[in-house]
Amino acid sequence: MALIARKFEDLLNRYRRSDGSKWGGQQFQDATAGVVTRSYVTNLRKGRIENPGYDKLAAIAKAMGFSPKLWFEEPQESGTSSYAEAADDHQDLSDRVNHLFNTIRNNKTGEPYTNAEVARMSLGDLTVEEIEGIRTGSNPDPSMNMGISLADAFGVHPSYFLDRGKKPPIIDQEALDIFRDETVSAIAHKSLHLPNREKQTILGIIRQFEDMRQTDGDNAP
């Protein structure tokens, strides 16, 4: 089963309808005004859709009442809860993407990043044309992988593009400076979808290097 299908199944089990039953295709179609159809739900659950669009993910999260961030995080041991800050339609995806372009500056030039620069920062995962389509709204529903690549390039969480009803957060410049390092960005990008156990292994290796450097510093004359 595809990773997104397993994630969807976990969410269906955790966030049930008010009567305790699991969400079905017809309920999603009704609750999302047809944005998520019965057939789409079936294909998503069966793993036939491995790279769903952001609009579909946001609509499902809003209907079921969970934070969009859960699409990108490891399952948590918690009961059913509502998501009071579910996205509304006051701010679309292009607005949030352009907010990043307007807020984040190129450290070398002091100017906003261009589409070509962000395409290079995505390590080849995004083209200039794809970024332009997202920014202008001609592609209002980019795939999950495209959103993740764009988020990685700017050093923000992928769910940033899903929380459209909320005011864009203040950008952490220190975190952005870290993600300007291509090697760090590549490590984050490649490890994003790894199981938590493997992520912990990678973190352990990094901490070992930190300990080694600390030891070398202490032993320096």
> Tokens standing for 37?
């159809």
CB count within 10 Å of CB 117 equals 17
Give Cβ neighbours of residue 29 (< 8 Å, ≥ 6 apart). Answer: 36, 37, 38, 41
* Per-residue CA distances from 30 to 37, 54, 65, 92, 148 (Å): 8, 19, 15, 22, 28
The 10s digit of each residue's pLDDT in 101-156 is: 988 888 788 888 999 999 998 888 899 999 999 999 898 888 888 988 888 888 78
Biggest CA–CA distance in the chain, Å, is 71
Domains defined for the chain, CATH in brackets:
3-72 (1.10.260.40), 93-180 (1.10.260.40), 187-218 (no CATH)
What one-letter code names the amino acid at 152? D
Which residues partner with 105 through β-bridges?
112
CB count within 10 Å of CB 215 equals 10
Per-residue pLDDT tens digits of the chain, which is 221 residues long: 578 899 999 999 999 988 889 999 999 999 999 999 999 999 999 999 988 988 899 899 999 998 888 888 765 444 333 333 333 344 578 888 998 898 888 878 888 899 999 999 888 889 999 999 999 989 888 888 898 888 888 878 787 887 655 555 545 555 555 555 667 766 776 776 677 888 889 888 988 888 888 776 666 55
Which residue in 200, 198, 196 sits closest to 7, CA to CA? 196
Query: According to the model, what pLDDT value does residue 46 have?
Result: 92
Q: Following DSSP, what letter does each residue of 115-129 receive, concatenated?
A: HHHHHHHTTTSS-HH
Query: According to the model, what pLDDT value does residue 56 have?
Result: 92
Number of residues that this document lists for the chain: 221
Give Cβ neighbours of residue 14 (< 8 Å, ≥ 6 apart). Answer: 66, 75, 78, 79, 80
Which residue in 172, 144, 32, 162 sits closest to 95, CA to CA? 162
Helix or strand (DSSP H, E) at 146: helix 144-154
Query: According to the model, what pLDDT value does residue 168 have?
Result: 53
